[in-house]
Amino acid sequence: MESQKMMNPDEVRFFCGRSNPQLAEKICSLNHIPLESTEFKRFSNDDLYIQLGASVRKREVYIVQSLCPPVDQNLMELLIMMDIARSSGAKEVHAIIPYFSYARSDKKDAARISITGRLVAELLQTAGATHVMTMMLHSPQVHGFFRVPTDPLTSQPVFTEYFQGRSLAHTIVVSPDIGAAKSAVRFAQGLGNLPVAAGNKERISDTTVRIKALIGNQVKGNHTAIVYDDEIATGGSVVEISQLLVARGIQEIWVVCTHGVFVGNCLERLAAIPQITEIVTTDTIHNLSRDRDSRLHVVTVAPVIAEAIRLNYLGESISHLFAYGGGKGK
């Protein structure tokens, strides 16, 4: 980016909540912009107090915050920080949300429940967001929940780079869910038009799924599978699809996901399948789980987010970085 037009530090302010300051630092460093300080504390009644550490008046304000556990606390921090920026005279307020967890609540599939993804999108706008940028929403329709300009970015370039130069003969890309098959196809194309299959998944509960069959190209004739998903939380989908693949003769499995939540005993469940030799995720969530499992590799999405921020600031197109539509993958 050195030879390209950069952001003017006098016109912007970058802040972050406490969910992922490591990623925020990388994004700011790539754009040669300082990450300003923010004070967080609690009142005696447990109310949250936040104070931004620099003036935002007449400036473009960027707030980086992932909605990872503790989700409600991180969401509240983001809402308060945006409200501060708006009420303090910010020119624009950009919510940079690498992981938008409520994207999983994208439909009303039971009585008396909330489509919480839509609710949170509306809360962001009410709090002052004039623009939202996120990384790989759970499903394309979530994009439509937002009434402010919203950019769903793709993590595919960092995964493609990770596997670049590796021999991928007799390798198949597998999506655990038919709904994510299009993303898997785009990823497979980026790796040299690998064959693709998708699982026919039925969700029983938040932690339990059942995958009865594989749809698409036959696994037979391939000995390696890349299981490609947007998010891994409990690991149920990956365990189910991996067991099915092993039964079909797959000898080695590389698990790839954008958002590595890895709650509870997720990594232990994956470790119980010896054919899983690599787990590759990104830093949309600052995950200490890498210390528990040597197979876990974390690649950064900071260059994608930083470039999208820079191009948006300059008024240039970022469609090539989209997860849907103009983009080339997840």
201 is catalytic: yes
Residues of the chain with CATH 3.40.50.2020: 12-154+303-321, 156-299
> If you average pLDDT over residues 159-171, what whole number do you get?
93
Does CATH place domain 12-154+303-321 in 3.40.50.2020?
A: yes
In tens, the pLDDT along 26-82 reads 999 999 999 999 999 999 999 999 999 999 999 999 999 999 999 999 999 999 999
Question: If you search the block for the tokens 């948006």, which residue do you land on?
Answer: 312
**CA angle at 129 for the pair 124 and 131, rounded to the nearest 5°:** 115
Q: How confident is the model at residue 178 (pLDDT cuts 50, 70, 90)?
A: confident
User: Pseudo-torsion of CA 18, 22, 28, 30, nearest 10°?
Assistant: -160
- pLDDT in the model for residue 110: 85
- Environment class of residue 25 by beta-carbon count within 10 Å: exposed (0-12), middle (13-18) or buried (19+)? middle
Mean pLDDT of 302-314: 97
In terms of Cβ atoms closer than 10 Å to its own Cβ (0-12, 13-18, 19+), residue 155 is buried
pLDDT at 202: 64
For 193-219, what is the mean pLDDT? 72
pTM, full prediction? 0.92
Residue 209: the pLDDT is 61
pLDDT above 80: residue 86: yes
Note the pLDDT of residue 135. 95
Residues 7 and 31 sit within 8 Å (Cβ to Cβ): yes
Is the pLDDT assigned to residue 137 strictly greater than 90? no
**What does the pLDDT read at residue 205?**
61
By 3-state DSSP, what share of the chain in percent is helix, strand and coil, each rounded to 5? 30, 25, 40
Positive/negative CA dihedral, 180, 183, 185, 191: negative
Query: CATH assignment of 156-299, given 3.40.50.1100, 3.30.1300.10, 3.40.50.2020, 3.40.50.720?
Result: 3.40.50.2020
Q: What percent of the chain has pLDDT over 70?
A: 91
Averaged pLDDT score across all residues of the chain: 90
Which of 1-15, 47-61, 202-216, 217-231 has the least mean pLDDT? 202-216
If pLDDT is split at 50, 70 and 90, which confidence band does 177 have?
Answer: confident
- Active site residue: 58, 201, 212, 220, which one? 201
pLDDT in tens, 278-303: 999 999 999 766 566 788 999 999 99
